Amino acid sequence: MAKILDMPKLSPTMEEGVLATWHKKEGDSVEVDDLLAEVETDKATMEFRAFDKGTLLKQLVGPGAQVKLGQPVAIIGKPGEDVSALAAEAGGAAPAAPKKAEAEEQPTETPRSPRIESGETAAAKPRATAPTMRPAPIDKGNVLTRTERDAAAIGPVQVVNGERVLASPYVRKVARERGIDLAGAQGSGEHGRILPSDLDALGKGELRGKMPAAPLARVDQAAAALAAPGLAQPEVRPLSPMRKTIARRLTQSKQTVPHFYLTIDIDAEALVALREQINADLAAGAKKAANGAEAPKPDKVSINDLLVKACAAALRRVPETNAQFTEEAILVHQRVDISVAVAIPDGLVTPVVRNADEKSVVAIAREVRDLASRARAKNLKPEEMSDGTFSISNLGMFGIDEFSAVINPPEGAILAVGQVRDEPVVKNGEVRPGKKLAMTLSCDHRVVDGAVGAAFLAELRDLLERPMRILTG
């Protein structure tokens, strides 16, 4: 029996996504765990895989469509099944063809996704075969849907030397908005298909600036209203799903979580020396293992890797910091899973180092490097970005001395780390060159009291100023 496939939750904070590419077409056979489509979420480009086997009978949304969580996206069943009733129930049935008399006045419509526009409401209608709720079809009348408005902004499909440019409507729309000419471009997708991830690279080359930007009416009007007469208009950058989620979650964090901040300076001279010694040993070990051949690129340990290990040890010593607030109780975690903030072009993601207290510094370095690389490529799995118990945000590589970070709910604290600074220090009554490192702990006061936060920082300072204990403790 045919069934409707709803958009699943592909990341912990996902509320909607952009269906970037279909990997199965109507009529294709589908097995369990087959890749159906790629979906751009607030975190990364995720794989939408099949939970059932059968035949893909109908796609209810096209490439580039904005899809809500739980919205119907496809129908799967046995070959030849009549799915017109299910398609109508899902709101994805193709509209009736216009009468001949009307055809001259109205353009032919394509099947549209069941988007509900701002200001529109529709009663939820349950499907008999599942307990989920889904929106009823919208009576369009004379009102254009978002999908139709977007289609108008996309413009005509580009054809180069008689061949259609392989790009989804979403990619063409974004390219038009950014002023990127897709003609002659070879994308990284199947058969040279241009993917959303290719647009940044294309925008840096000769392809930029050959297409007029599509109008973004409301955004452009807002930009114009902010600019004084005679001044240049600002560049308009539409919000990505990730940026929308960052804005929502951080606003919620600052409005609902009572933050307070504790800052310390540590003597980082021994920490820097230990890092240099570890990296020298790793390089020597790689050279020895090569046995005269060209040595592979050795592992390297960063200050941040040592901080992850040190924080994990400090959290074991002061477990009240490794906690989160709920309306019923404070949860003190028995695991130490540290979220590491990674900057990517679209915003910020926080991949998680699981059981950081049980791993060596070198193992942490390898894992953080792998997670950061896949985060920038938008290839992280949802479980690799969720359920951390403590966060570290390090801006030292950007020359920042000190800052305060916003807590990443539901975690109870986040450590903001600046750069290692060369400055005079007093030791044994003498002033001499030294190294300092400032760190600020942002605490959820519902979970972490001032004394608890101070105790955590004291343990962390002790570990970092006697860093051999990080390796042995």
- Tokens representing 94 are 């193709």
Catalytic residue numbers read 445
Residue 77, beta-bridge partner list:
55
Backbone angles phi, psi at 309, to 5 degrees: -65, -40
Question: Contact at 8 Å (CB) between 181 and 174?
Answer: no
Backbone angles phi, psi at 260, to 5 degrees: -140, 165
Question: Contact at 8 Å (CB) between 308 and 353?
Answer: yes
Please list, residue by residue across 340-350, b when 16 or more beta carbons sit within 10 angstroms of its beta carbon and e when fewer do. bbbeeebbebb
DSSP H helical ranges for 83-134? 84-90, 100-103
Cα 391 from Cα 319, distance rounded (Å): 14
Question: Contact at 8 Å (CB) between 34 and 6?
Answer: no
Q: Please, what is the Cα angle at 264 between 260 and 267, to 5 degrees? A: 165
Cα 462 from Cα 353, distance rounded (Å): 23
SS3 126: strand
- Tokens representing 262 are 């504790």
- Tokens representing 237 are 């950058």
DSSP H helical ranges for 182-268? 199-203, 217-226, 241-256
